Structures are given as C-alpha cells and as structure tokens.
C-alpha cells in the first residue's frame, strides 16, 4: 500500500516533469464510466486525451432501473437543458409502497422531495443517452475492448485489451477503474475487497397490456426468505424481482421459472397489485435472470495515477436504490480530484477516497436500519443473517 507521503512526492514529480498532454483511460462504460468521461471532458484541458474502453456485448441485459429524486441534480449537470426531453423517454416514479415491518402497506411519496420525482429507467436507453453525451463531448470510445492485463510503467500503466481483432496495448498516464463490481483494474493491483454481505436477485421482465391500470410506484413486500419488488418500466414493461440468498436458491430452486412463480403467488399483498394472469401467461417464455448484489468496499480506491469509481469502488445492496446515483455522484467528485491531480496536487485524490469511505459507512448504517426494521420474520434464516 502507498503511504500518503509517497503519493505527494509522486504528485510533485508529475507536475515538474509532465510536459506532454495527459492520456486518461476509463475502464468500463456503465453509468460510472460514462459520467466520469463527461465530467472529465468538461474539467480537463482540450489537449488531454480521454479514452473509454468497455467490454460489454450488445446482447447483455443490464438490471437496475430505479433512481430516486436525489439523482436529479447530478443528472441536470450531465444532460443540461436536454434533461427534460431525455427523461420524457423514461417513466416517472412517484415513490414506493412497501409491506415491510408491518402488515399494512407504508408509503414513501417523492412528492415531498425538493428535487422532484424519481424515475424507472429503460436502463439500456439511459446508458445509450449517456454514451451520446460522451461521444458529442469528443471522448474516444472503444467498444468490446476487455481489459485483460495491466503493467505499471514509469509514467502510468500499459493496458492490454482483448478485442475481436486480437490483443491491443495502450499507455495511460492515469486510469479510472469503472469496471463495475468486478473491480478488474483495482483487483489486478492487488487491492483487497472487504465483503459485508451478498444476496441474489432473481429478475424477470414482462409485457403489460396497453389498457392496464397499474400504479407507477415501486412496490415492495418482505417475505420470510427475502423480499420482492416490482417496478413498472417505460414502454409497458414490468420488472418483478425476488431478492434472497444463495442458500435459499439452492434449497428451493426458485431460480427456475415455475418455482419463482409459485413463490410470487404466495406473497400476501404484491400479487394483488400486479397482473398475475399476464405474468403466468408469459412465464413459459420468460427467463429468470440471476444477479448477485454484494455489499463491499475496496481497501483502497485511489493510488498513484489511478482511482476507482462506482461499483468498482464499492457495492450497495439494491435495497438502497442508490447504486446508479452513487456512481454518478462519485464520478463528478472523481473527475474534480483527477483534474486537481493533473494540476500537481495529490490531496484531492485522498479527499475523494475519504468521501467514498464516508459514504460507504453511511450506507452500512442505512442498510442495517432497513433490515432491522423488518421484525415479523426475525427468527428466519434470511433475516437473521442480514441483521448484524
Ligand atoms: C439486481 C440488481 C438490481 C439493481 N437495482 C438498482 C436500482 O433499482 N437502482 C439503482 O440505482 N441501482 C441498482 N442496482 C445497482 C446498479 O445497477 C449499479 O450500482 C450500477 O450499475 C453501477 O454502475 P457502474 O458504472 O459502476 O458499473 P456497471 O454498470 O456494472 O458498469 C461496468 C461496465 O464495465 C464494463 N467492464 C467490466 N469489466 C471490464 C473490463 N475488464 N474491461 C472493460 N470493460 C469492463 C462492463 O461491461 C460494464 O459495462 C442494481 C443492481 C442489481 C445487481
């Protein structure tokens, strides 16, 4: 691990000797990588190159679609005057209704939020809209480039990518690790990952009939071995997700469509709020997508000439609905820190790390409170393992 004195010496060394324009490489084209590219382009001088590399294949479905009103200020900075037209293509979410800790549904209405509404995103479209901003800002994007190796050198890193045309190498003066929960670059450097908890999400998407009369709220119900949520998505789609843990999936096979549906039918309230007949009808051609959601923090999220942002730095349980917002907010702070680093100061990088650690500590408190507030299933394995 580098000590802060080493980092400050390194920064002075950079400002004295670094005459050539900088090359910043961003690894990952999710919300964190794309937002970092937009903010960095607006903060760094035009002669700095910003390159974005993303391994994503076009057919990979991304989940994670609800953003709270707290995301609006940073989205305003990213999209400027276009924000209204951009969000016309997503679905406004007025809040959530939850059967959590009580047999009576509780309401959390966004109407009282100063920043306005939340949204249920068409996640693929949202990332395309961010990418469009990145491209129009002049950032060069390399799609289907998977970082497979890194080598520190005198002025940064040599990065090796697997591409359809064979492996390619690029040199970068500074690397932004935005590779998501795999934290590929940061882990290659040997930085440890501290895991708090890991849960599984079993997600399925359905078509809704045009005529349907259904609330646009996020609907949540805690059950004895996990919790369910449903979110209406743009273009008459519905996401329904069961959150449980690996042990329960092994015991109940609820990652298989028929058992998943059986469990959904056993909910006491949610099944009466969503169109079960349409869901059952579409079940035979629906795939249950399993995604792990790990709550973790990397031991270091900065070093000499790199930082990690978004899920590459730390992961939140989707119960917080904060993953995308956290990625966008951290990207803004990270790009300010990099711009100060480019001016010869290392303090901003350590300030960025302090903030990431503080935010994670706050999240840990919030997560504990949320899980502890569901006492109806206190003796059940899933709940007793979440409360510590
Ligand atoms: C089931 C589930 C539900 C969720 N629901 C919500 C929700 O409702 N609201 C919310 O705010 N958040 C939610 N989240 C969390 C949210 O999706 C993440 O926090 C968010 O995607 C983080 O963005 P990111 O850019 O850091 O990482 P990612 O979105 O994971 O993007 C990382 C990118 O890096 C690329 N990459 C990875 N490795 C490499 C490599 N070696 N080389 C090049 N590129 C690489 C990937 O292809 C990917 O495009 C949910 C997560 C899960 C699992």
The structural domains of the chain, with segments of one domain joined by +, span: 7-65+123-195+297-371
Mean pLDDT of all residues in 204-209: 94
Quote the pLDDT of residue 119: 95
Q: Alpha-carbon distance 296 to 348, whole Å?
A: 23
Q: Could you read off the pLDDT of 230-258 as tens digits, one per residue?
A: 999 999 999 999 999 999 999 999 999 99
- Centre of ligand 1 to C-alpha 308, Å, is 13
Quote the pLDDT of residue 57: 84
Question: Mean pLDDT across the chain, nearest whole number?
Answer: 92
Q: Is the pLDDT of residue 111 over 80?
A: no
Quote the pLDDT of residue 115: 78
Quote the pLDDT of residue 50: 97
- Contact assessment for residue 145 and residue 155, using Cβ atoms and an 8 Å cutoff: no
Mean pLDDT of all residues in 215-230: 96
- Centre of ligand 1 to C-alpha 25, Å, is 18
Provide, rounded to the nearest whole percent, the portion of the chain with pLDDT above 70: 95
Residue carrying the six token digits 């996640």: 123
Question: Which distant-in-sequence residues (6+ apart) come within 8 Å of 106 by Cβ?
Answer: 97, 98, 99, 100
| Lowest-confidence pick of 169-173, 228-232, 310-314, 343-347 | 343-347
CATH superfamily of 7-65+123-195+297-371: FAD/NAD(P)-binding domain (3.50.50.60)
Q: Could you read off the pLDDT of 119-153 as tens digits, one per residue?
A: 999 999 999 999 999 999 999 999 999 999 999 99
How many of the other CB atoms lie within 10 Å of CB of 253? 11
pTM surpassing 0.85?
Answer: yes
Q: Alpha-carbon distance 66 to 92, whole Å?
A: 10
Q: Is the pLDDT of residue 69 over 70?
A: yes
SS3 of residue 289 by DSSP: strand
SS3 of residue 93 by DSSP: strand
For residue 19, name the pLDDT band (cuts at 50, 70, 90).
low
For residue 15, name the pLDDT band (cuts at 50, 70, 90).
very low
- Contact assessment for residue 244 and residue 228, using Cβ atoms and an 8 Å cutoff: no
Provide, rounded to the nearest whole percent, the portion of the chain with pLDDT above 90: 86
Quote the pLDDT of residue 210: 86
Q: Is the pLDDT of residue 10 over 90?
A: no
Mean pLDDT of all residues in 212-221: 92
Quote the pLDDT of residue 3: 36
Quote the pLDDT of residue 9: 43
Q: Alpha-carbon distance 229 to 247, whole Å?
A: 20
How many of the other CB atoms lie within 10 Å of CB of 380? 15
SS3 of residue 51 by DSSP: strand
- Centre of ligand 1 to C-alpha 61, Å, is 11
- Centre of ligand 1 to C-alpha 20, Å, is 33
Identify any residues that bridge with 231 across adjacent strands, giving them in sequence order: 239
Atom of ligand 1 nearest to the CA of 315: 19
Q: Alpha-carbon distance 95 to 112, whole Å?
A: 10
Q: Is the pLDDT of residue 5 over 70?
A: no
Q: Alpha-carbon distance 268 to 277, whole Å?
A: 16
Mean pLDDT of all residues in 313-339: 96
SS3 of residue 291 by DSSP: strand
The ligand 1 site (C-beta within 6 Å) comprises 27-33, 53-56, 63-67, 146-147, 178-180, 182, 184, 201, 203, 291, 293, 310-312, 318, 321-325, 327
Give percent helix, percent strand, percent coil of the chain, each to the nearest 5.
Answer: 40, 30, 30
Atom of ligand 1 nearest to the CA of 231: 8
Mean pLDDT of all residues in 280-290: 95
């Amino acid at each position: 691990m580098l000590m802060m004195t080493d980092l400050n010496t390194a920064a002075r060394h950079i400002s004295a000797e670094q005459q050539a324009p900088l090359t910043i490489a961003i690894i990952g084209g999710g919300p964190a990588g794309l937002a970092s590219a937009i903010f960095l382009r607006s903060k760094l001088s035009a002669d700095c190159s910003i390159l974005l590399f993303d391994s994503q294949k076009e057919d990979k479905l991304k989940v994670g679609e609800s953003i709270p009103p707290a995301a609006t200020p940073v989205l305003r900075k990213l999209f400027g005057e276009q924000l209204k037209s951009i969000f016309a293509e997503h679905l406004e979410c007025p809040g959530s209704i939850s059967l959590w800790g009580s047999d009576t549904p509780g309401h959390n209405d966004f109407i009282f939020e100063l920043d306005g509404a939340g949204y249920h995103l068409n996640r693929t479209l949202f990332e395309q809209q961010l990418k469009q901003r990145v491209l129009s800002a002049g950032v060069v994007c390399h799609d289907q480039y998977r970082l497979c190796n890194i080598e520190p050198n005198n002025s940064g890193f040599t990065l090796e990518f697997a591409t359809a045309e064979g492996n390619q190498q690029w040199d970068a003066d500074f690397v932004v690790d935005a590779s998501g929960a795999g934290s590929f670059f940061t882990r290659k450097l040997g930085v440890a990952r501290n895991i708090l908890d890991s849960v599984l999400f079993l997600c399925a998407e359905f078509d809704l009939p045009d005529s349907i009369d259904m609330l646009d709220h996020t609907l949540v119900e805690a059950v004895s071995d996990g919790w369910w949520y449903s979110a209406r998505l743009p273009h008459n789609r519905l996401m329904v997700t069961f959150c449980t843990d690996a042990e329960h999936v092994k015991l109940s096979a609820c990652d298989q469509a028929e058992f998943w549906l059986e469990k959904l039918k056993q909910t006491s309230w949610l099944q009466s709020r969503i169109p079960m007949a349409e869901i059952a009808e579409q079940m035979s051609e629906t795939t249950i997508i399993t995604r792990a959601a790990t709550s973790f923090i990397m031991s270091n999220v900065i070093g000499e000439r790199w930082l990690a942002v978004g899920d590459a730095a730390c992961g939140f349980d989707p119960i917080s609905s904060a993953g995308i917002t956290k990625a966008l907010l951290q990207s803004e702070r990270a790009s300010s820190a990099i711009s100060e680093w480019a001016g010869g100061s290392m303090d901003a990088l350590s300030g960025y790390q302090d903030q990431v650690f503080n935010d994670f500590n706050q999240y840990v408190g919030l997560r504990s409170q949320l899980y502890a507030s569901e006492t109806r299933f206190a003796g059940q394995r899933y709940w007793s393992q979440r409360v510590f």
